Structure 1
Amino acid sequence: MPDEKPARLSARNVTVAYGGVVANDDVSLTVGSGEIVGLIGPNGAGKTTFVDAVTGFTEYSGEITLGDTRLDGRAPHLRRRAGLSRTWQSGELFGNLTVAQNVVAALRPGGPATLWRDLFGRRKTGTDELVASTLHAVGLGDLGETTARDLTLGQQKLVGVARALVGNCRLLLLDEPAAGLDSQESLDFAERIRAVARGGPGVLLIDHDMSLILGVCDRIYVMEFGKVIFSGTPEEARKDPAVIAAYLGTPMETTHG
């Protein structure tokens, strides 16, 4: 196991129940600053439910902290303000707006009047610089004025990451960001996520692209029936009998560098 980095996100004994159905059962995990941690498992294992709990979109028992800040009981927008940000499985862009305008729309939650002013009015230089630096971080620095509908699918996915990353992002949760990408786009996406993590934020990555997960993650957690059944390095995950039986099917090698 690699040396643990200072924990940015810590979830302890998180349990989510819908009536008699337990979707998350005593789940604990950590994500360190600058670390990429994978969360994998079969469909219905409880991965997205866990992200919903962490980001405040569903009720849970247990304890979630970001740095020294307890997040329990806080609304989703207050968790975002504390530095916790996520992407969504169906994160559609505003197709008629430019890439930069799409990112600005995520930066300012001040209501329709503020949004209209920021998108079409005179923005502050600081906002422009922040958007430009965020787009550069995800490899889209030269596409700020491109209309979102003209992007490739891989580029659209990276705009979604930029919208989550812009501003005070200390922990980035990516829920199936590589869905629909071909092999080359997935390789490119992996490189961008590595670059984002090198900039400081921790990353929790959920995806079914196992080459991506095994190639880019520092550590991996595996869930089955709402429980964590494994935590360890990608190399350990490839060979673990419980992981192979529950999810991988056969031992895997990575194609990501």
Structure 2
Amino acid sequence: MSAEQHGLRTSELSVRYGGLVANDRVELRVEPGEIVGLIGPNGAGKTTFVDAVTGFTTAEGEVFLGGQRIDGLPPHQRRRRGLSRTWQAGELFGNLTVAQNIEVAVAHGGFGAIVRDLFGRRRASLGETVTAALRTVGLDGIEDTVTRDLSLGQQKLVGVARALAGNGQVVLLDEPAAGLDSQESLEFAERVRGIARGGPGVLLIDHDMSLVLGVCDRIYVMEFGKVIFTGTPAQARTDSRVIAAYLGVPMESAHA
């Protein structure tokens, strides 16, 4: 079975708000174990694309995951199929522990189900899922820590772990490095590489070009809802369309 059959692919994906075309026939793929970047100026349509792929906004076109069409499914069913995402801000419950934050995302019935089954077998199974997700992002042993007591970098990684928990095939990271300092961004890059080595495909959207160009295998550049470039980071650094639309000047090789 080909890599494409296991990964994410969109075909002619379009989003319209009245007369505004936010995404215009976007063709994009993320293969297993691959880190793909999606960059572009503010308002280019990047988050709208993530919303469309994950079912949080109405779209035309097709979305495939593991070779199966999922564009007709609601968000929670796409999540159960293995397509997950992070959010730009406000996704964690600061007064809950790390484990509880992750369990809320994967337990059918949400936090109420966790409370009702506090000592059941499902609780043990959830614990194993939490531990595996945290190990993937390098945060072993913090399950019982209250989320608000973590550093910003750790909170970002908990958000990624929450997206990965369960049967994740592809994870969409929407500006996960926002607010991180240079050292935290470097550490985050290593965690993203570790995620991809473990099998899932990663779509990374961020304005930290050192991170994106340093960690991604391929880059898509979006402007006014259209993909204007697809290629390697090395090609993106010097492409005239990318420079004009986003980078401003050619970038030297970045090492995240």
What TM-score do the two structures reach when normalised by structure 1? 0.94
Tell me how far 1:56 sits from its aligned partner: 0.7
Tell me how far 1:94 sits from its aligned partner: 1.6
1:29 aligns with 2:28: yes
Q: Which residue of 1 aligns with 2:198?
A: 199
1:250 aligns with 2:249: yes
| Alpha carbons of structure 1 residues 91 and 199: separation in structure 2 relative to 1, 3 Å | farther
Q: Which residue of 1 aligns with 2:47?
A: 48
SS in 2 for 1:140: coil
Percentage of matched positions with identical amino acids: 67
Unaligned residue ranges in structure 2 (runs of 5+): none
SS in 1 for 2:251: coil
Please give the alpha-carbon distance, in whole angstroms, between the structure 1 residues aligned to 2:222 and 2:123: 44
| Alpha carbons of structure 1 residues 112 and 182: separation in structure 2 relative to 1, 3 Å | closer
Equivalent residues of 1:176, 1:205 under 8 A apart = yes
| Alpha carbons of structure 1 residues 208 and 223: separation in structure 2 relative to 1, 3 Å | same
Equivalent residues of 1:34, 1:201 under 8 A apart = yes
Equivalent residues of 1:244, 1:251 under 8 A apart = yes
Q: Which residue of 1 aligns with 2:135?
A: 136
* Structure 1 stretches of 4+ moved >3 Å: 4-7, 120-124
Equivalent residues of 1:91, 1:160 under 8 A apart = no
- Residue type of the partner of 2:84? S
| Alpha carbons of structure 1 residues 187 and 49: separation in structure 2 relative to 1, 3 Å | same
- Residue type of the partner of 2:136? A
Tell me how far 1:60 sits from its aligned partner: 1.2
Tell me how far 1:18 sits from its aligned partner: 0.5
Please give the alpha-carbon distance, in whole angstroms, between the structure 2 residues aligned to 1:113 and 1:151: 24
1:76-87 superposed matches below 5 A: 76-87=75-86
- Residue type of the partner of 2:87? W
Q: Which residue of 2 aligns with 1:59?
A: 58
Tell me how far 1:145 sits from its aligned partner: 1.7
Q: 1:52-102: CA deviations, max 9, x gaps?
A: 110011111111100121012111111111110000111332222221121
Aligned-CA RMSD value: 1.6
1:150-229 superposed matches below 5 A: 150-229=149-228
Tell me how far 1:111 sits from its aligned partner: 4.4
Unaligned residue ranges in structure 1 (runs of 5+): none
- Residue type of the partner of 1:238? R
1:1-16 superposed matches below 5 A: 5-6=3-4, 8-16=7-15
Deviates further, 228-237 or 97-106: 97-106
